[in-house]
Amino acid sequence: MPKQIAIYGKGGIGKSSTASNVAAACADEGYRVTIIGCDPKSDSSITLLRGRRIPTIMDLMREGIDIREEDIVFNGYKGVKCVEIGGPEPGIGCAGRGIIVAISLLKKISSAIEDTDLVIYDVPGDIVCGGFVAPVKKGLVNEAYVLTSGEYMPLYAANNICKGLARLEMTLNGVICNSRGALNEEKIVSEFSKEIGSQLLAFIPKDVLVQTCERDGFSVIENAPDSEIAAVYRKLAKSIMGKRDGKIPVPLDDKRLRELTRI
Amino acid sequence: MPVKKEKEPLIMHPRPSSIVAALYTLRDLDTDVVILHGPPGCSFKHARLLEEDGMRVVTTSLDESGFVFGGHDALVEVLEKVIERFNPRRIGIVGTCASMIIGEELHEAVTQVQPDVPVIEVEVHAGYRDNTKGVVMALESALACGIISEAEFERQKALLKEATMVEKRHGAASKEYLEPNRGDLKYKVAGRLLELIKQGKKGLNILNAKKETAFMFADINLAVAEVAQKLNAGHNIVNMVNLDDNVGLPKNRRNAQEIKGDLKEKGFKIHHTIGGLDEYPVAGNTAERIISEKYKDYDFAVISGVPHALPMDNIKNMELFSITNGPRQVVPLKEMGHTHVVVEIDLHPKTLGVSHIVESEFGATLRELAKDA
Ligand SMILES: Nc1ncnc2c1ncn2[C@@H]1O[C@H](COP(=O)(O)OP(=O)(O)O)[C@@H](O)[C@H]1O
Ligand SMILES: [Mg+2]
């Protein structure tokens, strides 16, 4: 069975860039990787496809296409299989139902989520309804990671996600700090990780390279392989691929959370 | 290049629901209690009717707050109560539009409660174009629970595919809109049928009915045979029925036996068995083959049940007397070339919870008219 992971965290915190860089780093190591973009924004795989936007499952469904594997699964950097679920126009219909339908379609017509070594579900920041946890509920995710910076609001979101995971009896396999340059950031996130019963896996520095590569349609791994930050992503990828058991997280109360970020 | 699906034409009249189809399938699988996970009124009429067949249907009664906050706890509670109250040997859980849209996982409740009897979970809603989807989903789940065999599953799936095709060709899915129609006057049609029998014309008397509806449709074929016998024309009538009791799910086999028992007792002779009670989409083809070999020159045919599943090739020159229970089936049957079309209104509800043939209006009319003949 492949490693099936989901990366959670506040919107805009860096889930998609982390996911695509980890995917690229794992592909470099020779792993077969699949990335499933579950955000209606459908921006998870763009940097693995040299800036190309692939048709989403929802786009094709809307057009009444008889969807086959080759219409929705695209080979990106070093053979990383890229799928974007997409969604309805903002404010119309039901994006959550879209994810449920797309996931069961994908299971039916493609081996991309089974015949592989790593599947990354890149989910939106806000798990606004039942549909957005469909991959977890359908048993397609066996490891969860939380991405956060050391600031109060991203940590607040991370803590909320832990509440959700605990409710779903889902284990947390590690915390990743994506730095926004806050004071004492690594220490804060490391302490947070410990207190919720997990551990800090990586500290990704804030680096404009991420954004410049992204603008040109590349991951850092592909376009700046010798950069410092590429090495950080590689280390994180190794750590994710290594065997590690997760634990159901114990969320903190808000008072403690505020204290923590005051350090 | 992505290939566009051929756009299915719009159909506006209401049609059978896949949720209800799943419920009936669970009944055929001898399920004791089914939990409908959704709002209290969903599928009410059929849920109630199915209780006539001994199955219990309960609901998790999701309300506005259930839609917003999820219905997991309600499902757990109802599942626990069902086990305690009914002590069932087999449980079904069926989805509804509301619970499926909000992403309810039926299996989570089952995992939590851990009943020690099989639970058939059907994550179905009513938004499928063909209601047979609900049957397939229920059977898939029954297969996963080991309640039916792979072979039976494949057999059913092939039949359902045919059933869907039958409806597309000449049935409820054949037109954008079908006007409901009460059909021809039973009195007149019965009169004409008697006339032909009296004239010594040769006739086919075909039962091709769907599952339990045969309890009433068989009464029509029985009446035809009785009346012919009375008029000393029994030898002119050939009876064909889809009452093979060696195929299908347990209930369908039982029902075929019960109906055959009644027919035998009344002296009805089965000349040809054209299939089982769940084979109505294909039994017509068997009938067609037999007709082309032996009865091509017959003058008339009485077809009760699903007359539109009979190919027209060898019967188009006969005077056709067709009896359906669908008011929306009248127009398509007339267009196919069926001369007389009679509707047994509200037939289905009267065939639930019975184990003997039930009197039909057309059969009664025919018998009554024959008294004066
Ligand atoms: N370590 C980093 N250094 C600098 N910019 C980053 C870093 N990580 C992410 N970003 C930028 O932040 C923005 C939001 O990231 P994104 O991955 O889209 O977030 P999410 O998927 O969590 O909504 C992007 O423009 C991305 O390039
Ligand atoms: Mg994203």
Residue A33 has pLDDT above 80, yes or no: yes
Q: Which amino acid is at A175?
A: V
Candidates A37, A23, A24, A219; CA nearest to A118 is: A23
Q: Convert the pLDDT of each residue in B61-91 to its tens digit.
A: 999 999 988 999 999 999 999 999 999 999 9
Considering chain B, what percentage of its residues have pLDDT values greater than 70?
100
| Residue appearing with tokens 């290939």 | B3
Short-list B237, B227, B219, B244, CA closest to B304: B219
In angstroms, what CA-CA distances link A31 with A49, A230, B40? Answer: 17, 17, 50
Q: Using pLDDT thresholds of 50, 70 and 90, give the confidence band for residue B314.
A: very high
B260-279 per-position pLDDT tens digit: 999 999 999 999 999 999 99
Order the strands of the B119-122 sheet from edge to edge. B56-59, B33-37, B91-95, B119-122
Ligand 1 pocket, mutate which of A211, A218, A232 (most atoms under 8 A from CB): A211
Let me know: does B340 contact B241? Beta carbons within 8 Å. no
Predicted pLDDT of residue B32: 98
Chain B: residues touching A (Cβ < 8 Å): 2-5, 7, 70, 100-105, 108
Spatial contact of B134 and B17, defined as CB atoms under 8 Å apart? yes
d(CA B111, CA A120): 26
pLDDT of residue B301: 98
Q: Which of B332, B335, B333, B314 lies closest to B322 in space, CA to CA?
A: B333
Contact assignment for B103 to A60 by CB distance below 8 Å:
no
pLDDT in tens, B153-194: 999 999 999 999 999 999 989 999 999 999 999 999 999 999
pLDDT given for residue B361 in this prediction? 98
Ligand 1 atom nearest to CA at A11: 23
Question: Of the given ranges (A187-191, A243-247, B195-199), which has the lowest mean pLDDT?
Answer: A243-247
Q: In this predicted complex, what is the ipTM?
A: 0.78
The pLDDT value given to residue A120:
97
A21 φ, ψ to 5°?
Answer: -70, -40
C-beta atoms of B4 and A67 within 8 A: no
Kindly name the residue from A41, A107, A187, A235 that is annotated as catalytic: A41
Average pLDDT, chain B: 96
Inter-chain CB pairs, A–B, below 8 Å: 42
Share of chain B above pLDDT 90, in %: 96
d(C-alpha B323, C-alpha B303), whole Å:
6
